Structure formats: structure tokens, C-alpha cells
Structure 1
């Protein structure tokens, strides 16, 4: 067993860890001075030395590391990582066997017992996301395991840590054979262009798979659809394939136009038959209201934080305002698909934003359906913060 350091937990936090909480909270540690080098193996114990778990030191948001096992006889080593990876792969068997979906999550951090580590599958290629220097110290072990236990064509990585807390831009290619880009992947039969070597994002948010499927199959036929914060236009593609009468995609990023056009073409759709607008969403709303424009379906999937020349948006504070400005451009009987990936926003708070927005604008609503993370995004019941995605299909009644 590798040398490890004992980390003592304050008495008022002990029960939390006995119940399986996987994140090592800084405020829970009585002897933080022992945490010196990220990647160190930690023995988590009570103040009297009773074993609680074993993990590693890695600075991530409010955490100082993750607990990987509650078995005192189990070491944090190559065998532990191999066991957890094999279990994770087995849990995704049906995804590997689905010819209509070739992009999905293989390891979802603490949901698969590997806090700080994300691994996604892109049609033969694996993308490893490292959320701390601590988990990155195990890079060779994890990369070798992926190469040796899967049929990986190649491996790319995203380092989501730095002293400043931002994305570390580097050569994202790691091992195997490089992919050709765009790399086409399938999602429920739809085709999307992805780029595994182009910064923090790949061109598609794969946690929204079930939302796109539902939009395509149930909410698009004959409808006018407005896709705000549209990124590369994947929701617009789903709506068009579902028979939408028209789609409008709005995003403030200049590159969103060419990226959205590309996604339409990947699916045999002429982008010239759809509106793609580079604009601040809030400014676009103002002009839409003046012109008397409204839509049958409006999609809201904003980032947790966004800034343009005229607007700063923070989901935790401003989502209610976004909803209030969306309601006037939504037709009576129409649907607002409201989504947030902000882990700090509870479902209760999100529902409160929805309720307040409709009351303050003098309209009634009903929730048609709601969603959280898809099945491949396993979560840990002891760590509810990991279930970050919240999506509501909201019908504007009057």
C-alpha cells in the first residue's frame, strides 16, 4: 500500500462521512496542514483514529479531495481504479450496443466512485476530464487502463484545473490515433459534429440527450421554435428533424453561426432555411417584442455565467429575469423548455423562479414534464450536488 497521510474529521462531520459523503470538505478537516502535495493518498478518520475512508488530496471547488473507498483493506492503487473502471464500463453496456447513439458518459466522477474524474465516449475515442491536479497525478495509471481495457481508437483530455481555476489549454491529444475533425457522433439517430481538440467544449452537451429526443419527438412538429443561448444549435437540429415549421437560433458568440450551420448540414438540412442570429439574447427579446414576434417553443439552456457587452447573466440570480422576458415571446399554449446545469441551484429554488416569473407577468402555467441527468450520468445518493441538471417543460396557459 502506498504511503498515506491521516486526515482527521471534525466530530460534527463524522456522521456525514459514515453515510458515504464522498467529497473531502476543507471545513471538515481538523489538521489541514498535513495536506501538502496534490495526489497524496489520504486515510480519512475520526479524531480518535477510527477509519472512515481512503482517497486522495486534490483541490476542487470547496473540496480538498475525494474519498474513493470505504473499505479499510482496500488501497488507492491501480487495482482500485481498474475495478471501478470495469464496473463503470459494464454499467454502460446498453449504450455501447446502441448503434443510434455513439456518444455518452462512461465515468461520471463520484457517481462511479471516482470523484474528480470524468470519461466520455465519442464513437471510439475517449475524452478524459481531470478536475484537479490531484486526480491528474494518476494520469498514467488511468490512461493505461483505458487503453488496455477498452477498444479505444484514441484518447483526448481536458484539464479543468489551474491556479486561477480555469481551463488549462494544452495539447488535448493523449494516446492512440488522432481523430479527424469534425468527428461525427450519433445521438438517437441524429448526427453531430464534434471537436475533441478545441478547448474545454466539444460541440455538444451530452447531458441534454433526453431533452433533445423529447423536443424532437413530442414538441416540434409544425411548431415555431426559438433556441436561445444556442451554442452549436443542437436543439435547433432536433426541432428541425422533428418537423418544426421554423427554427431561430440565437447566441452571442460569433462562431455560433458557422457551428450551427455545420450541425444542420451534418443532418442533411439546408441551414439557409433556418434563422441563425448572433446577438445577446436579452437584446434580441427586446426587438422581438417590438416586432410582435412570438414562438410556440422557446428553449432556455443558458450557462451558469455569461457576459456580453451589454449583459451579465448569473443563473443563481438572474434566471427569474430570463424567464420573465421569455414569457412575452412565448405563444399562449406554447412551451418553455427551462434548463439549468447550475449545481448550486436546487430544484426548489428553480421552481420558485418559474412560479415568480409567471405570477409577476400575470400568466398561468403548468409543468408538462421534468428531467434530470440521463442514465449514463450516474450520481451518488450521498452527494445530491452531483445531480446538477434540472429541466422543466413549462406550458404557458394564458
Structure 2
């Protein structure tokens, strides 16, 4: 096995079991590993430190896997890690209210670059590193043995694959082609999931708990769900007997699927309006028209893909939340989210304070939202904590 030698003074993060080693921390490589190979990381003094995936095309040149030299990273190792992750989630699916969740969450489950989501009898995978790509035959075989799915579909269309020298993929890996809409249950609500054409892996199960929490405030309220996608917050609000729900999304496919989800659940379509529009533009139209709401949900896409984008993203978050605050009735509730890992909670609170100041409003933070247990955060990898949100009362 090839040895990668760490620069002197760069040992701290590795000893703390952070899974990333950047290219600038590497002194030299003894040999010529192929991208995606498992290599040995050793200190400047030659002491073993960890095994990891190597890739010379990525800023993260090593993604560490195993810190015990006596435990080989072989086929049995990958099978065990897949099984551990799947078995840790089985209780999430045991109550009959949910048949969808995240089964494998990349670094959090010691499989950097692998995402696996379960949608009823179908699995959607995203492969983001060359090391995982090299080991997919074993991973697919283990998933088949553990779960007996009808299909395993590759949704590896993220642009981040380019940083690993990989092309994007959108194809069936195993089994039969999934139907255009796979019906899943979350919180007892039925959703149609378009695995092949939907965003990310097809659905955002990271908001499962937060949808329930917000729905508890929706009864009898006029709700606005922005960046609604296929209707997670919309459907939970209707189930909780909201007076009305307006959903806004720029994707025609998302709006079409949302309307189909209303029908699937036999909710009162007269209480719902779906608008295909850019959210920021639509919020300004609502303001010009004098519209007001009791509850507003803002669940935008990732505005800050990296720390270098944080200042620009903060301005975008501030403007979005400012205009939403202006659309709330006095004492109304704003549920606002960021899925940007670079945006920490304290910065997010500061952005909302600025938004409130510009809007001439007062804000109380009454609840903090986070990602659910099937999206765990490793203590040695805080970067895995990406989803954050605040429920705000606005005066």
C-alpha cells in the first residue's frame, strides 16, 4: 500500500479524527496511487496515522476512513460500514408512518462521499468521491442483501464530482426502472417522488421533524410556503387544518408534483394555491398587493456553498427574510432555514437581526430547527451539521 507522508505540524486534525486532509498538508507521496485508492497516511516521523481515499485532483487529497492500523479497509470493512448505517436507521422506519429516510450520510457514517436515501422499495444513491466510486459494486451488493430493493438508482449529478475528476451520472444501477412517481410516506403523509428527475436524490427528508413541529402552529392559519418543492411544509400544514396554504416554487415539475400530492392525500384543494414563480419576485408582488400571512416558511437552496461566499449569501438571506417579515401579520411566525454548512447558527441569528432592523420589526426566536437523526453529525466532523433554522415571532 502506498504511503502518504504528512507535513510536520499537521497531525492535530488527524489525531482528532477529522476525516479530511487537504493537499497543502501533504509532504510527499511514496509511489503513484490511482485516484480513489486506499493509502496509508503516516506522520513526518513515519508513524501510521490512518487509512484513507487518495485523490490528487481534489483540494481534499485524503478522506480518512480508519485509524486502527490492524483493521484493513477491504471488502468486509465496506460491508460492515454499510450494514452499521442501515441498521442504525431501522427504527425510523418501524412505526408505519415513515418508509423514507436517509440510510447513509457520507462522513457521518464513515463512508465519505456516499449518500443513500430510501424511498419505499427504491434506493437513490449519490456518489461524490472516487474512492466510493471504486467500491460501488460491493456497496450495491450489500444494499441488496440488507434491503432487497426493487431498484437502486444513481443520482450522482452533483457538480462537486468534477472536483474528484468524475463525470455526472443519472442512471439505473440495479433492478427495474422506478416508476415516474414513487409513493412514499413521511409523518403519515403520502408523497410522489420523482427519483430520476427530482432535485438532489428526489426528496428532502432532512426536514421530516421540522415539518411536524411547524405544522403544530398551522391550525386555522394563513400559511405561505416558499421554495415549497413538492410540498413538505404545505402538506403538513394542510393535515393540521391550516385555513389556507399558498406554495411558491420556480420549478414547474415541483409544482406539478405538489398538486398531485394534494390529490394523493385527499386534502381540500380549495384551501391551496400553487404559484410557479421566482420566490423573491413573488414576495415583492405580494407586498405590492398588500397580502398578509400568519405563517411564512422560507427554505431556500444553498446560498453559501463555501465560506468565501458567506458575505454575499448573508446579504441574500437578509433581503429574503426582510421582505418576508413585512408580509406577516403582527405576531406572525417566520420559519426560516439555511442549508449552507458555512452559515453557522450565530451568524444566521445575526442576519435575521439585521433583517428585522431593516424591516422595522422586532423578532423573538422561539425554536431552533436542526437536521433529524438520520442525518447525524460526527463530533470530529462538525461540517456535517449543515441544516439550521429558526422559528421567529415577528412584531
TM-score, structure 1 normalization: 0.91
Aligned residue-pair number: 387
Separation of aligned partners in 1, 2:13 and 2:201: 36
Q: 1:162: Cα distance to partner?
A: 4.0
Offset from partner CA, 1:215-268 (integer Å, 9 cap, x none): 22x111000111111222221111111111111111222333312211211211
Contact 1:304/1:316, CA 8 A, preserved across alignment: no
Q: Which moved more, 1:119-128 or 1:367-376?
A: 119-128
Q: 1:179 to 1:256 in 2, by over 3 A?
A: closer
Whether 1:121 aligns to 2:115 is: no
Query: Partner residue of 1:245?
Result: 243
SS of 1:297 mapped into structure 2: strand
Instruction: Report the alpha carbon displacement of residue 365 of structure 1 after superposing the two structures with TM.
Output: 1.2
CA change 1:295–1:199 in 2 (3 A) is closer
1:59-208 equivalent positions in 2, closer than 5 A: 62-159=59-156, 160=158, 161-163=160-162, 170-198=169-197, 200-208=199-207
Corresponding residue number in structure 1 for 2:307: none
Q: Partner residue of 1:309?
A: none
Q: Please list every run of 5 or more consecutive structure 2 residues that lacks an aligned counterpart in the other structure.
A: 305-310
1:260 to 246, 258, 261: 258
Which secondary structure does the structure 1 equivalent of 2:34 belong to?
A: coil
Length-normalised TM-score, structure 2: 0.91
Give per-residue Cα distances to partners, 1:350-379, cap 9 Å, x unaligned: 111011111232221111111211011122
Contact 1:58 1:133 in 2 (8 A): yes
User: Structure 1, residues 281-300: CA drift from partner, whole Å, max 9, x if none?
Assistant: 22212221122111111101
Q: Is the 8 A contact 2:4 2:30 kept in 1?
A: no
Gapped regions of structure 1 (runs ≥ 5)? 307-312
In the superposition, relative to structure 1, how do residues 250 and 96 fare at CA in structure 2: closer, same or farther (>3 Å)?
A: closer
Shift in alpha-carbon separation, 1:370–1:259, aligned structure 2, 3 A: same
Of residues 35-44 and 190-199 in structure 1, the stretch that sits farther from structure 2 once superposed is 35-44
1:20 corresponds to: 17
Cα distance change on mapping 1:186 and 1:22 into 2, 3 Å: same
Partner of 1:54: 51
